[in-house]
Amino acid sequence: MKLKDYFNIPNMLCYIRLGMLPVFLHMYRQATDTSGYVRAFIVLTVAMSTDALDGFIARKFNMVTQWGKIIDPVADKILQGVLAIAVMGNYPPMKLFVIVFLIKEIYMLVMNFWLVRYDPEIVRARFFGKAVTVLLDVAIGLLLIFVHVPERYIWIISVILSIAVVYVGVRYSLMHRQIIKDNNLLKGKH
């Protein structure tokens, strides 16, 4: 890849998204009332909008790069992780979701890193992954604004989000298994 591939407009938007996360986290942790949480949420919304925008620009103007295919989903997962950890500060039952999320993401990172040389498309987001990403973003986003949700509802949300993450992990693990099988990777031929 050329240096310009790392710094095209879609990838720069991805870097901006990553750069806004500490700003959001600081604002969220400093918030003491609803207006403070709303301001943090606005920063988060701007950061999240760069995700849709970078993908649109990359496809529309033929600016898709191999680096972009890697950094965009990584930035999405960092965003989700930061959000989950931020919400866990106000809602301890979200710890269940955070643990499940981190296990799944570490698994995905290791497997995708290993298998991308055999199937470069493995890092491409699938519909089911995008759908769960939207579910996570909406649920966590709402918890960022509504900071006085009863604990029993937080447990329900945490369990539902955990199940959704496990579902995505299982779907991807089946794809990983197929790549391993197709390339005889467990038989020591590669």
pLDDT, tens digit, 9 for 90 and up, residues 121-171 = 877 778 898 899 889 988 988 888 887 899 999 999 999 999 999 999 999
d(CA 136, CA 75): 15
The reported pTM is 0.82
d(CA 180, CA 117): 12
| Integer CA distances (angstroms), 164 to 54, 56, 156, in order | 25, 26, 12
Count how many domains the chain has: 1
In order, the DSSP letters of 135-161 are: HHHHHHHHHHH-----HHHHHHHHHHH
| Integer CA distances (angstroms), 190 to 39, 46, 87, 122, 186, in order | 52, 44, 43, 18, 9
Give the CATH number, domain containing residue 112: 1.20.120.1760
Q: How confident is the model at residue 190 (pLDDT cuts 50, 70, 90)?
A: low
Q: 65 by DSSP, 3-state: which? A: coil
Residue 80 structural domain: 3-187
Q: How confident is the model at residue 77 (pLDDT cuts 50, 70, 90)?
A: confident
